Amino acid sequence: MNFKKRDIISIEDLSKDDILKILKVAKKMEKNPVQNILKGKIMATLFFEPSTRTRLSFESSMKRLGGEILGFGNPKITSVTKGETLWDTTKMIQAYCDVIVIRHYLEGAARLSAESADVPVINAGDGSNQHPTQTMLDLFTIEQSQGKIKDLHIAMCGDLKYGRTVHSLTKALSLFNPTLYFVSPDTLRIPGYIRHELRTKKIKFSEHTDINEVMNKIDILYATRIQKERFPDLADYEKVKNTYILKKNMLGGAKDNMKIMHPLPRVNEIDNDVDDTKHAYYFQQAANAVPIRQAIISLVLGAEK
Ligand code: CP
């Protein structure tokens, strides 16, 4: 429960009480977004993979709380190109900052950085493994749109094999008695180890290839991009890339308050004609990144308790 100096690497590092605490502080931040509680603190953002929302919302969060930022969004301009290891990079950068936010293309990279650095390290996405702060903003968004997190019917659709956001979110939702519907092509099913965990925890779930089978049952449709960059063979990506394109005319049977979420970026999973419907919630979801990341940074730096 005490967050000060803690690393945030995996959603599994957070208890249910931890998750509820972050949500509570985020609601406070939402009401009072500009403060000076991190004056004198510096956050380093080390992004070894492309990002728009995660990096910029972390930086916006730090600035709105009075802190400073340094870092890079393009590793090609760093000494990594000269062969410097991730271990050495984070060991050295910790001397320049109070908290490190890292995104890396390798699973486990954030954990390695956390072992190297004494300042708190926050995982902003490691390969197809975890993206815990995205999960926190997803939970915040679910609660905001539905008035609760517990007992909801949630579909996850698209690339459930490589999509790290669905892996983290499934684990977190398991604490809140969901009914889950996994909708994907056969080649991109939710990994076996996650299905095994769900069975062990007695979480209700089913698998589908057609989103229309579940449309009238769900409170949330969580769409994801097919992760082209993670396919070992691009021919396999070509086979599945346009499997799911959500259009307005597919939403007729949906519950009145069914909301569509997407971690973004979207490529063509959601047609633009959905944007003006009452179901579209993905841009609000992206906006929720700021209060959630403000909460997480201020907790690990001890400015919130
Ligand atoms: N949702 C998300 O992680 O977006 P970015 O890749 O743009 O950071």
Taken in order of first residue, the domains within the chain and their CATH numbers are: 11-130+289-300 (3.40.50.1370), 132-287 (3.40.50.1370)
CA distances from 83 to 76, 80, 86, 87, 88 (A): 11, 5, 9, 12, 10
CA 292 – ligand 1 centroid, Å = 14
Q: Compute the average pLDDT of residues 260-276.
A: 95
pLDDT of the residue at 27: 98
pLDDT tens digit string along 50-88?
Answer: 999 999 999 999 999 999 999 999 999 899 899 999 999
Q: Compute the average pLDDT of residues 235-258.
A: 93
* For residue 287, pLDDT beyond 90: yes
Q: Which pTM does this prediction carry?
A: 0.95
How long, in residues, is the chain?
305
Query: What's the rounded Cα separation, in Å, for the pair 155 and 281?
Result: 15
pLDDT of the residue at 52: 96
Contact 188, 240 (CB under 8 A): yes
pLDDT of the residue at 77: 87
CA 6 – ligand 1 centroid, Å = 23
* For residue 144, pLDDT beyond 90: yes
pLDDT of the residue at 242: 86
CA 286 – ligand 1 centroid, Å = 9
Query: Does the beta carbon of 32 lie inside 6 Å of ligand 1?
Result: no
Q: Compute the average pLDDT of residues 282-288.
A: 98
* For residue 1, pLDDT beyond 80: no
Element holding 29 (H helix, E strand): helix 16-31
Model confidence at 164, in pLDDT bands (50, 70, 90)?
Answer: confident
> Is 82 designated active site?
yes
Query: Whose CA is closest to atom 3 on ligand 1?
Result: 54
pLDDT of the residue at 227: 85
Q: Compute the average pLDDT of residues 28-53.
A: 97
Q: What is the mean pLDDT of the chain?
A: 96
